Chains A and B, each alone.
Chain A
Amino acid sequence: MTMKRSRLHPLSVSLATLMMCGLATTAQSQSMRDVESLAKERGLTTADLMAAAKTYLPSGELDEYLMFASGGHAGQVFVVGLPSMRLLRSIAVFTPESWQGWGFGVGNEILEEGFPEGKANLWGDTHHPALSETKGDYDGEWLFINDKINARVAVIDLRDWETKQIIKNPLTLSDHGGTFVTPNTEYVIEGGQYAVPWGSDYAPISDYKEEYKGSVTLWKFDRNRGRIDKDQSFAIELPPYWQDLSDAGKLASDGFFFMNSLNTELATGGIQDKKPPFEAGASRNATDFLHIIDWRKAEEVYKAGKVEQIKGFPVITLKTAIAEGLLHVTPEPRSPHGVDVAPKGDFIVVSGKLDPHVTIYSMDKIKKAIANKTFSGNDEFGVPILDFDSVVEARIEVGLGPLHTQYGPDGYAYTSLYLDSAVARWTMGGTYGSLTPEPDWTLVQKTPVHYNVGHIAAAEGDTVSPDGKYLVSLNKWSVDRFVQTGPLMPQNLQLLDISEQGTTMPVLYDMAMGVGEPHYAQIIKADKLNSWAVYPETGWDPHVQNIEPMAPKKGMERVQRNDDGSVDIYMTAIRSHFNPEHIYLKQGDTVRWHITNTERAVDATHGFAVPVYNITASLEPGETVTIKFDADTPGTFPFYCSEFCSALHLEMMGYLMVEPAE
């Protein structure tokens, strides 16, 4: 059915009312007539009411999908329920967050792991979340996300939705081509972006071509430990182009991954010296290079030891990569943005950004061209260039500023159009062709969004089995969509209904995201997750996901002064008291404050907050934490539970008394 924004036709309304009257059974004896009059009063159309009916969840009803969205320079991950578009959670990753106590008592060691050059960097620029996959489908177990500003990757456990690891890339300082995972999460891949000398050492920009390096890092993921294993990870050196968005092959393209690039011109900017700025220099050529990397071959090369240790990390040099035939490039429209592999892995779709087309490459043709060495030459670093015409399958003009592509289950692909502020729906060819009534490789619909769409995310839309149904347009500008909130305006996440074939995909809902700038997001069926409601046992250390044998237990609370002068405090928290409540310390004490929340009731979270010492921790039921600090400031400090945990919440407090040194 079509959903034009038509005013309610009186006849259709009365007909509907007649039909619905029999169904109206609410106690207040409301009828569809009341709905009709309210709609009229508020100026709502049939389409508006349909949108509301499709998205509204009565209290207590649960969302069908979860969207894990990057938080941009908020440095976090945001989790949104679909179709309600309710913000359910933030997950602190690179940026301290006081509700979760992240960086204020919990997670400090994890944040420190990721400090570049040992310098406290307390924010991140999260871009591309990647849910762990099994056979190319989300398995709901892990989430990875990159930090573009400092080239870091974080691992989040989806049992307790907490960050478990932050790993700093030793070779580069910015990443954008990641994170994405291979079909069984063998590797979490992080592609560098702005070329820098190895380890970001000093080198003048005049040495750009010789000293500045591109790279991609393959982080081995150890599912049992829930950690990236640095000792089994390696990197591949790439030309100092700015490698961009990337995607892993699957099924037909299993064993490969693909990376876009910009600045194959090797522009070095210099506007201050009247040289062309980067924006002009880096977009001069008509084409850039799509990188095609055979990661299984790379893994063999790495395992055979054909690597160089650079900054203490194994790197397959560009020379080796070329010699081993694991790296090829092929021309792509200049300054492209997304490269997105089709569900069966048979097509790779590149969005032109400055070119109104999406360019579709065939994996079959790529494999043939590699086998037959159908090269149109080599780039200036010697990387073989696959002949464009031999690998391209189709080009479709979709509109201005195409950025990212997602897939549906029914032969449609969706591409965001930044300049047009629209989402395009187009038909695929090949074996997908018969699924759609329209001809293959054809634009069928453009739906306006508001405004400047970046990424789009369809339900499981980048897996081997997309669900369709919903698509979220992650818009950069909201302009007039919300009440004015000062000059800094929220992002606008718009929900589109893509469930029906045909030509419409109406916008159902605008969600304001006034806490960060989501870039990419992934949408997973909610029932795939196995979240814990409370920690499995009391005394649980989330960092190791196991019982902490030394965790404070009921009846064993104490303040223990050790021979080395340090102090261990063993404290329990339960509604509505801490035990012990009086803590005497001496100025200069080194303190390890262990607290266990001994609650077992769902949602019986306690907070633990100490003034002056900048401490706050969230203690979820069963959790144990250890907070370390030096009691350097004497005084009397009332600490308290910062969650409104019970009717005696205000009474859940204690005194820390630090006696001044003589």
Chain B
Amino acid sequence: MSAGIIEKIIGPRVSPEESAKHSFRYGTPGFMLLVARVLLLVSLFFPYWQMELQAPQYPDGLHMTAFLNHLTGDVAEIDGLNHYIGMRSLFEAAQLERTVGVFIMIAFVVMLEFAAYIHTRWTVLLVAPVVFFPVVFLVDLHLWMRHFGLNLDPHAPLSNAVKPFVPTAIGKGGIGQFVTIATPGTGLIMAAVASIMLVVALFFHRRAYLPLVKQKRAAAETPAAN
């Protein structure tokens, strides 16, 4: 019974001879899923997002870099400045996300591992969360920045000069004497490339295995008709 469900989920198998004969057809989806996995793993070591703050008294600018699991750069200095406008410490932001980020990424890689093995539409279910990950990251970032920017301490020293605001998650913004330039990091770009590869992989996946699934279904239906 359960073996039947598993078989139904993982879908038709391709014989090694057939696979060797049509190596492009059957190799491409798996290969692209592999590349996506590598990209996601490597992205862990690269920044996902960075912000540069430019102001007259900081000729080299202030820099903040967010990795999936930690913040680096002039965060203490930026926090020090933020206390004038009553913004909470950036270290308090997205603590859960930074704690679980790496595990989620590992889970994604495992999911893609399975996705490569499954030859039915269930693959989509495993791939989709990974595809949407970069968008989810940016939305989450935006929500945190919105939350921090709109909840300034009304008694802060500069509360007259700086009203609550929504910092820009990607692009150019400004606050006080600072111009802020927020850009996606190499890690996020890798994840986005992985997303595109996954969509393309799904296309090739469908092209390779849908005929097999249909064939199998047709084969299953034929004896019933007899």
Minimum CB–CB distance for A597 against chain B, Å: 12
**In the bound complex, do residue A600 and residue B76 qualify as a contact, i.e. CB atoms below 8 Å apart?**
yes
CB contacts under 8 Å to B, within A547-589, are 574-575
Instruction: Give Cα distance in the complex from A600 to B80, angstroms.
Output: 10
B133 contacts A by Cβ under 8 Å: no
Q: Which residues of chain B have C-beta atoms less than 8 A from A648's C-beta?
A: 84, 157
Q: Which residues of chain B have C-beta atoms less than 8 A from A603's C-beta?
A: 57
**In the bound complex, do residue A647 and residue B84 qualify as a contact, i.e. CB atoms below 8 Å apart?**
yes
A601 contacts B by Cβ under 8 Å: yes
B7 contacts A by Cβ under 8 Å: no
Q: Which residues of chain A have C-beta atoms less than 8 A from B80's C-beta?
A: 574-575, 599, 601
Q: Which residues of chain A have C-beta atoms less than 8 A from B77's C-beta?
A: 600-601
Minimum CB–CB distance for A646 against chain B, Å: 8
- Complex: chain B residue closest to A60, CB-CB: B59
**In the bound complex, do residue B157 and residue A647 qualify as a contact, i.e. CB atoms below 8 Å apart?**
yes
Q: Which residues of chain B have C-beta atoms less than 8 A from A600's C-beta?
A: 74, 76-77
- Complex: chain A residue closest to B60, CB-CB: A602
Q: Which residues of chain A have C-beta atoms less than 8 A from B57's C-beta?
A: 603
Per DSSP, chain B at the interface is mixed
Instruction: Give Cα distance in the complex from A603 to B77, angstroms.
Output: 13
- Contact flags B69-80 to A (C-beta < 8 A → 1, else 0): 000001011001
- Complex: chain A residue closest to B77, CB-CB: A601
- Contact flags B48-66 to A (C-beta < 8 A → 1, else 0): 0000000001100000000
Minimum CB–CB distance for B41 against chain A, Å: 33
- Contact flags A636-656 to B (C-beta < 8 A → 1, else 0): 000000000011100000000
CB contacts under 8 Å to A, within B126-165, are 157-158
Instruction: Give Cα distance in the complex from A635 to B77, angstroms.
Output: 36
CB contacts under 8 Å to B, within A15-30, are none
Q: Which residues of chain A have C-beta atoms less than 8 A from B58's C-beta?
A: 601
Across chains A and B, the number of contacting residue pairs, with CB separation under 8 Å, is 17
CB contacts under 8 Å to B, within A593-649, are 599-601, 603, 646-648
- Complex: chain A residue closest to B76, CB-CB: A600
Q: Which residues of chain B have C-beta atoms less than 8 A from A599's C-beta?
A: 80
- Complex: chain B residue closest to A646, CB-CB: B84
Instruction: Give Cα distance in the complex from A223 to B77, angstroms.
Output: 35
Instruction: Give Cα distance in the complex from A603 to B80, angstroms.
Output: 15
- Complex: chain B residue closest to A577, CB-CB: B83
Minimum CB–CB distance for B91 against chain A, Å: 13
Per DSSP, chain A at the interface is loop
Instruction: Give Cα distance in the complex from A284 to B199, angstroms.
Output: 102
Minimum CB–CB distance for A533 against chain B, Å: 10
Q: Which residues of chain B have C-beta atoms less than 8 A from A601's C-beta?
A: 58, 74, 77, 80
- Complex: chain A residue closest to B161, CB-CB: A647
Minimum CB–CB distance for A535 against chain B, Å: 15
Instruction: Give Cα distance in the complex from A428 to B87, angstroms.
Output: 69
Instruction: Give Cα distance in the complex from A251 to B26, angstroms.
Output: 78
Q: Which residues of chain B have C-beta atoms less than 8 A from A574's C-beta?
A: 80
Instruction: Give Cα distance in the complex from A641 to B35, angstroms.
Output: 57
Q: Which residues of chain B have C-beta atoms less than 8 A from A575's C-beta?
A: 80
Most B-side CB within 10 Å, residue of A574, A601, A647: A601
Instruction: Give Cα distance in the complex from A603 to B158, angstroms.
Output: 22
Minimum CB–CB distance for A388 against chain B, Å: 60
Instruction: Give Cα distance in the complex from A495 to B77, angstroms.
Output: 41
Instruction: Give Cα distance in the complex from A648 to B85, angstroms.
Output: 12
Minimum CB–CB distance for B29 against chain A, Å: 50
Most A-side CB within 10 Å, residue of B77, B80, B84: B80
Instruction: Give Cα distance in the complex from A464 to B58, angstroms.
Output: 40
Q: Which residues of chain A have C-beta atoms less than 8 A from B76's C-beta?
A: 600
Minimum CB–CB distance for A544 against chain B, Å: 25
Q: Which residues of chain B have C-beta atoms less than 8 A from A646's C-beta?
A: 84
- Complex: chain B residue closest to A574, CB-CB: B80
Minimum CB–CB distance for B155 against chain A, Å: 13
Q: Which residues of chain A have C-beta atoms less than 8 A from B74's C-beta?
A: 600-601
Instruction: Give Cα distance in the complex from A575 to B74, angstroms.
Output: 15
CB contacts under 8 Å to B, within A148-201, are none
Instruction: Give Cα distance in the complex from A473 to B76, angstroms.
Output: 47
Instruction: Give Cα distance in the complex from A647 to B85, angstroms.
Output: 12
- Complex: chain B residue closest to A648, CB-CB: B157
Q: Which residues of chain A have C-beta atoms less than 8 A from B158's C-beta?
A: 647
- Complex: chain B residue closest to A554, CB-CB: B76
Instruction: Give Cα distance in the complex from A471 to B196, angstroms.
Output: 66
- Complex: chain A residue closest to B58, CB-CB: A601
Minimum CB–CB distance for B173 against chain A, Å: 21
Instruction: Give Cα distance in the complex from A574 to B80, angstroms.
Output: 8
Instruction: Give Cα distance in the complex from A574 to B74, angstroms.
Output: 15
Minimum CB–CB distance for B162 against chain A, Å: 12
- Contact flags A438-478 to B (C-beta < 8 A → 1, else 0): 00000000000000000000000000000000000000000
Instruction: Give Cα distance in the complex from A648 to B76, angstroms.
Output: 18
Instruction: Give Cα distance in the complex from A600 to B76, angstroms.
Output: 8
Q: Which residues of chain B have C-beta atoms less than 8 A from A647's C-beta?
A: 84, 157-158
- Complex: chain A residue closest to B59, CB-CB: A60
- Complex: chain A residue closest to B57, CB-CB: A603
Minimum CB–CB distance for A497 against chain B, Å: 31
Instruction: Give Cα distance in the complex from A627 to B74, angstroms.
Output: 30
- Contact flags A285-311 to B (C-beta < 8 A → 1, else 0): 000000000000000000000000000
Instruction: Give Cα distance in the complex from A646 to B80, angstroms.
Output: 11
Instruction: Give Cα distance in the complex from A646 to B55, angstroms.
Output: 14
Minimum CB–CB distance for B75 against chain A, Å: 10
Instruction: Give Cα distance in the complex from A601 to B157, angstroms.
Output: 21
Instruction: Give Cα distance in the complex from A646 to B76, angstroms.
Output: 16
Instruction: Give Cα distance in the complex from A599 to B79, angstroms.
Output: 12
Instruction: Give Cα distance in the complex from A600 to B158, angstroms.
Output: 22
Minimum CB–CB distance for A485 against chain B, Å: 33
- Complex: chain A residue closest to B62, CB-CB: A601
- Complex: chain B residue closest to A538, CB-CB: B76
Instruction: Give Cα distance in the complex from A567 to B34, angstroms.
Output: 65
Instruction: Give Cα distance in the complex from A312 to B36, angstroms.
Output: 78
Minimum CB–CB distance for A364 against chain B, Å: 54
Instruction: Give Cα distance in the complex from A647 to B57, angstroms.
Output: 13
- Complex: chain A residue closest to B80, CB-CB: A575
Instruction: Give Cα distance in the complex from A600 to B62, angstroms.
Output: 12
Instruction: Give Cα distance in the complex from A586 to B58, angstroms.
Output: 43
Instruction: Give Cα distance in the complex from A647 to B81, angstroms.
Output: 11
Instruction: Give Cα distance in the complex from A601 to B76, angstroms.
Output: 10
- Complex: chain A residue closest to B83, CB-CB: A575
A interface residues with partner B (beta carbon < 8 Å): 574-575, 599-601, 603, 646-648
Can you show 14 pairs from A to B with CB atoms below 8 A apart? A574-B80, A575-B80, A599-B80, A600-B74, A600-B77, A601-B58, A601-B74, A601-B77, A603-B57, A646-B84, A647-B84, A647-B157, A647-B158, A648-B84
Q: A647-B84, A648-B84 are in contact. List 15 more A-B contacts (CB 8 A).
A: A574-B80, A575-B80, A599-B80, A600-B74, A600-B76, A600-B77, A601-B58, A601-B74, A601-B77, A601-B80, A603-B57, A646-B84, A647-B157, A647-B158, A648-B157
Give 4 closest A-B pairs by Cβ, nearest first: A601-B77, A648-B157, A575-B80, A600-B77
